[in-house]
Amino acid sequence: MQGWEQHHRAVEALRASYRRIGPGDPVRLAKRTSNLFRPRAESSGPGLDVSGLDGVIAIDTAAGTADVQGMCTYERLVDEVLPHGFIPTVVPQLRTITLGGAVTGLGIESTSLRNGLPHEAVLEMDILTGSGDLVTATPDNEHAELFEAFPNSYGSLGYAVRLRIRLEKVPRFVALRHVRANGATDAVKIVEEVADSAAYDGQRVDAIDGTAFAPDEIYLTLATFTDTSGPTSDYTGQDIYFRSIRERRSDRLTMLDYLWRWDTDWFWCSGAFGAQHPVVRRVWPRRWRRSDVYHKLVGLDTKYGASKLLDRVKGVPGREKVIQDIEVPLERLGDFLEWFDAEVGMRPVWLCPLRTTRAWPTYPLEPGRLYVNAGFWGTVVVPAHTPPGTVNRRIEEAVHRLGGHKSLYSEAFYDRPTFDSLYDTARLDRLRQQYDPDERLSTLYDKAVRNS
């Protein structure tokens, strides 16, 4: 644990690094790693020194809160709070997502139907603004508008240096039920029952997500947090979690293994590197079976083009990356999956129901309304000379048509008027005039669409 004194020293180093950036030069993080899946402009000048802002400052077990630095990963945060019997209210699926990243971006997981999104557990945060000021924003102080616009702003309003968050008291184990739904209509009914009663078939449900393997094969995984001991599964070895969903009606994991059940194989995407082949898996060290390792392998492939060479050998005409998370109203899930199967044809698709507790202007989901996040990550074959982003543009149009929204951690192709209407950039511009009058930070459109 960092402690307050160490935190204050790290903040001073951060502010000193800001002062070293030349007047008029853009302000960016001096950070090499990322969980984003879109190109980022290279910066030749100095960046913000966040090297000391990656830990937990303090835990208040009586209040059920923690003060956490913005660059602290959820892996490190969980390691600190779980021994005290707590977890963050929402723990995004991948270990190296940072708390600041999940709040200024958007995080989601299986407790989101009950607890909303990660930023809904934030009680206050210290934000370094584009003008170099450090302000403490809360829902009801003079910086309340900055507080509510910060989620989904992706650094266009500043960077979270410290966040005070609510924690959730949890037991040691998680009991799982993999309930098969024979199509989207059946899946929607199950989600509605869980949303209405926090239970299914008479048993409490603390968390829910789903895996859609085929149009008539969707599994809702219903999790019940429990102190009842018993045999537990281990999906960090030869067994693979996403395959178990089809193979087992019930399961049991430790709380820690439940939180990172998707990370070991990057959902199902580790198969692209051979990590799911039994022979390869036996020689692939466990410590390297994790999402950040796979992300680095993708970066190396992007740099050196191994997959493009293989495509040429195989005679593949063209390929487009389709790495997206979108939200649609629960009642439109069937419409989206039907369109997606016909126009994109990628399976499995991850499903995560959610319900927000209040309006957040930069990602305006209707409070209390049921939505489903659909996550799909891979590539699709396209005809030669297909314009870049063709498939992704069609996805954006379909999601918009169905009353949904798209997360911005990956590539976006919206035209400016559409983007402005979806993400309330007028409010962002007004706040930028207040907190970044010299325009040192990139706008949300520049970051998400222009990749600057």
| Tokens 């709380």 sit on residue | 255
Please give the chain's pLDDT, 452 residues, in tens: 889 999 999 999 999 999 999 988 889 887 666 667 766 666 556 889 999 999 999 999 999 999 999 999 999 999 999 999 999 999 999 999 999 999 999 899 999 999 999 999 999 999 999 999 999 999 999 999 999 999 999 999 999 999 999 999 999 999 999 999 999 999 999 999 999 999 999 999 999 999 999 999 999 999 999 999 999 999 999 999 999 999 999 999 999 999 999 999 999 999 999 999 999 999 999 999 999 999 999 999 988 988 988 889 889 999 999 999 999 999 999 999 999 999 999 999 999 999 998 889 999 899 999 999 999 999 999 999 999 999 999 999 999 999 999 999 999 999 999 999 999 999 999 999 999 999 999 999 999 999 87
Residue 79 near residue 63 (C-beta atoms within 8 A): no
Q: What pLDDT does residue 32 have?
A: 63
Other beta carbons within 10 angstroms of residue 437's beta carbon come to: 11
**Residue spans per domain, the chain:** 4-170+429-448, 173-262, 305-413
Q: What is the pTM assigned to this prediction?
A: 0.95
Q: What pLDDT does residue 260 have?
A: 98
Q: Tell which CATH classification among 3.30.70.2520, 3.40.50.2020, 2.60.40.10, 3.40.50.261 matches the domain 305-413.
A: 3.30.70.2520
Q: What pLDDT does residue 182 have?
A: 94
Q: What pLDDT does residue 44 have?
A: 59
Q: What pLDDT does residue 40 have?
A: 63
What CA–CA distance (Å, rounded) separates 196 from 191?
9
Q: What pLDDT does residue 150 have?
A: 97
Q: What pLDDT does residue 153 have?
A: 96
For every residue of the chain, which 3-state class applies, written as one string?
Answer: CCCHHHHHHHHHHHHHHHHHCCCCCCCCECCCCCCCECCCCCCCCCCECCCCCCCEEEEECCCCEEEEECCCEHHHHHHHHHHHCEEECCCCCCCCCEHHHHHHCCCCCCCHHHHCCHHHHEEEEEEECCCCCEEEECCCCCCHHHHHHCCCCCCCCCEEEEEEEEEEECCCEEEEEEEEECCHHHHHHHHHHHHHHCEECCEECCEEEEEEEECCEEEEEEEEEECCCCCCCCCCCCCCHHHHHHHCCEEEEEHHHHHCCCCCCCCCHHHHHCCCCHHHHHHCCHHHCCHHHHHHHHHHHHHHCHHHHHHHHHCCCCEEEEEEEEEEEHHHHHHHHHHHHHHCCCCCEEEEEECCCCCCCCCCCCCCCCEEEEEEEEEEECCCCCCCCHHHHHHHHHHHHCCCEECCCECCCCCHHHHHHHHCHHHHHHHHHHHCCCCCCCCHHHHHCCCC
What CA–CA distance (Å, rounded) separates 323 from 38?
9
Burial of 373 (0-12, 13-18, 19+ CB in 10 A): buried
User: Residue 140 forms beta bridges with which residues?
Assistant: none
Which CATH code fits 4-170+429-448? 3.30.465.10
List of residues 6+ apart from 44 with CB closer than 8 A: none
Maximum CA extent, the chain: 62
| Tokens 């016909």 sit on residue | 342
